[in-house]
Structure 1
């Protein structure tokens, strides 16, 4: 038997063996989608440039209602119109340059691949995209079918290539995104929910620390604590960890675990410097948060609130969060301080600054990168320093990787700096940085 015949035979055996396999094992065989070359090429190119790529699934959720209202021929036409409205909404959006490719994954849905550079808060960028694009798609359909109320289920997942080939990573992300969209696929969705609950319940979380340096004194003045999930799992990396947490409504519980781990780490290392801990507005605005924090302070009496800086991350709007301002006020009275992240990367961070008057402003890496060769970026820096002066805030410049960038910051009297130039995130007990 020649090699071609052998390959054909083994392929058929694998295919037909699944028919006789117990159902519980079928989850290890994700649906195989025919990937067009643009998908592989586009994802590979984006990942090679250091970008993240998200798989976003849009499924029509009321197809039964649609079938009842339309003839079979009209139903087929509707699906084509749905795809057309989808593409027109993308073309008319600010996201069109980030869309790699759109293709069918079933008769009822589409899959979109969206690239996202490292200067954008990945999870929130994806959710903002979904929030913005959904009404545009519905508007396009309503013009053609004014009597039909379009609705769809949406799920997303980021492509993690660390332990897989590009194609395997795409298949895995697609399977997870579909499970998120079609929560009816119970075996997959529930599995992710249980895995996230297990991480929180068993406290399978670790923290790394990256130093924050005083530019004038060249000394470590603080540390940013960064969460990592269980090693050698898809949740080891924060992007996947918080992506699943958001879609399973467990961000609050996950961030409380991060805070408790931070308190333990401070005690074990006897750290005296300031500690920056990332928190979403969703958690800071939760009505249960202040009470939960007060209980935690009783359990860890060595924690001084003045040492803790809550770094408001991501670009979630703080509008509509009923308890956000009340909680900020209560925590300030206890001595906690606040920083606003990503300043300079968009309007939302500037709006947050005006709303809460933070103690610290963190300038986004997109402003700092190559600032030594870009006079416009230096002018932006000067403008942000004026804002900080007006609000009485200290300034931390993030993402410094070159000595020349640090020299520009020193020349402009930036207070603090953070980045690979000084140290990568590491274990606080082992990596007490000597500068």
Structure 2
């Protein structure tokens, strides 16, 4: 006769089984279809189903192995037991029972705390609370083991929200873990966590403004092309493009952000029927994504655009570690019709190395060379050297950061192909960027200046 088991007892037994570190081969002992559930993941899932939010706090004990390098096995076991006990006691000081989800410790020197949030705004406190837990935890550990310590104990913290719309919870937790680990490794401040959430939300909601700045052909006075520039929301710190892209780089969101810029640019070009060349900034880290080219070609096919209209500006935000590999990547794009420019030429060795290794179609001379070039003979000599170099490798030259008429005159006198900067036009949204009257007047001015420069 089958024995009857109390429902509550059965649940307790399952919970005990779920806490055991059983290897995969042990699962063969369970009935088919039986899934051993992780209690922490189960609680996270339950919170998300009820409309709540979840986040994780990572605590990395940086000098743990150095701290215990001479410890005996018995003492090491004692430390590991006390460490977990002290950590849980510390957590209870700052996290309520309702907000506590659980703790996981995959490594001896790394503890992950899962917590419930009321809202995304509540996440802003995560970094602050994690900092308080870290300080108290460090202090307690040092008091407990001060006589045995070989060095001071340093704990780094990082926080991340667990994506609420992810289909795979395991993947979402892993992504949050890596994000928190990056924050801990770089020792980023408490407000970093909230800004990380803000940027992810900007990308998810596509809350970017795409601006354009014209690139003027100094030989004809016509608009040669448009550089695509991006801004975050006006009320956000990410309205500043430097903050936007540098923070995305720090948080490993750069490929997502740059792909969003490309998508928005394609939509605008299609809707506004832009026919000129379009310049889009891209970093080596995004170009190295093996899926990018295929996704890009698919988007162009759907939009009815031709790849020959696009010029990718390789920026120096992210250094190129393997030029041979990058040259192969650039070649694969070129075979599909895309062209490349190297940005910031003349600003440092790295841009010159990029030119010599990648042989771009276009060289963009950095604004640091152009600024006050009419007053500095050294900059004029540098300009002539870059022009000579570009001519010998059959590259077109664009001078960036032209802000004064005198600077433009020097460019015309030296037969620079194209210019870009506030002197010609400021960055504007697409719908305002194609002012026919404005550019007709600018064309006439460039032609007039060219005649003067040539002595006509």
TM-score (norm 2): 0.56
CA distance in 1, matches of 2:344, 2:367: 8
* Deviations 1:403-425, CA, capped at 9 Å, x for gaps: 11111110110000001101111
Candidates 344, 368, 372, aligned match of 1:366:
368
The answer on 1:210 being equivalent to 2:200 is: no
Which 4+ residue blocks in structure 1 deviate beyond 4 angstroms?
A: 63-70, 147-155, 181-190
CA RMSD, Structure 1 to Structure 2 (Å): 3.3
Change (3 A) 1:385 1:321: closer
Give the drift of 1:295: 2.2
CA contact (8 A) 2:362 2:397 kept: yes
CA contact (8 A) 2:63 2:154 kept: no
Secondary structure in 1 matching 2:213: strand
* Deviations 1:244-275, CA, capped at 9 Å, x for gaps: 21121110011000000010111121111111
Matches within 5 A, 1:168-207: 180-181=183-184, 188-207=191-210
CA distance in 1, matches of 2:344, 2:189: 37
Candidates 231, 239, 244, aligned match of 2:242:
239
TM-score (norm 1): 0.58
CA contact (8 A) 2:226 2:276 kept: yes
CA distance in 1, matches of 2:64, 2:401: 50
* Deviations 1:156-186, CA, capped at 9 Å, x for gaps: xxxxxxxxxxxxxxxxxxxxxxx94478999
Change (3 A) 1:321 1:371: closer
Change (3 A) 1:401 1:154: farther
CA distance in 1, matches of 2:369, 2:230: 24
For residue 270 of structure 1, what is the aligned residue in structure 2?
273
CA contact (8 A) 1:285 1:325 kept: no
CA contact (8 A) 1:183 1:189 kept: no
* Deviations 1:1-42, CA, capped at 9 Å, x for gaps: xxxxxxxxxxxxxxxxxxxxxxxxxxxxxxxxxxxxxxxxxx
Matches within 5 A, 1:21-60: none
For residue 171 of structure 1, what is the aligned residue in structure 2?
none
CA distance in 2, matches of 1:346, 1:426: 29
Give the drift of 1:221: 1.1
For residue 390 of structure 1, what is the aligned residue in structure 2?
392
For residue 62 of structure 2, what is the aligned residue in structure 1?
62
Change (3 A) 1:295 1:186: farther
Secondary structure in 2 matching 1:372: coil
CA distance in 2, matches of 1:317, 1:403: 34
Give the drift of 1:67: 5.1
For residue 251 of structure 2, what is the aligned residue in structure 1?
248
Change (3 A) 1:418 1:151: farther
CA contact (8 A) 2:323 2:357 kept: no
Give the drift of 1:190: 4.2
CA distance in 2, matches of 1:185, 1:380: 39
For residue 430 of structure 1, what is the aligned residue in structure 2?
432
CA distance in 2, matches of 1:376, 1:396: 19
Change (3 A) 1:67 1:283: same
For residue 330 of structure 1, what is the aligned residue in structure 2?
332
Candidates 257, 262, 269, aligned match of 1:259:
262
Change (3 A) 1:154 1:190: closer
For residue 228 of structure 1, what is the aligned residue in structure 2?
231
Candidates 326, 344, 349, aligned match of 1:347:
349
CA contact (8 A) 1:242 1:251 kept: yes
CA contact (8 A) 1:282 1:321 kept: no
Query: Tell me, which stretches of 5 or more residues in structure 2 are unaligned?
Result: 1-58, 71-149, 159-181, 443-456
CA distance in 2, matches of 1:187, 1:345: 34
* Deviations 1:298-323, CA, capped at 9 Å, x for gaps: 3222x111111001111533233785
Candidates 415, 421, 425, aligned match of 2:423:
421
Decide which structure has the larger Cα Rg and report it.
Answer: 2
Matches within 5 A, 1:63-78: 63-65=63-65, 68=68
Change (3 A) 1:63 1:361: same
Secondary structure in 2 matching 1:225: strand
CA contact (8 A) 1:311 1:340 kept: yes
Change (3 A) 1:61 1:349: farther
Give the drift of 1:195: 2.0
Secondary structure in 2 matching 1:351: helix
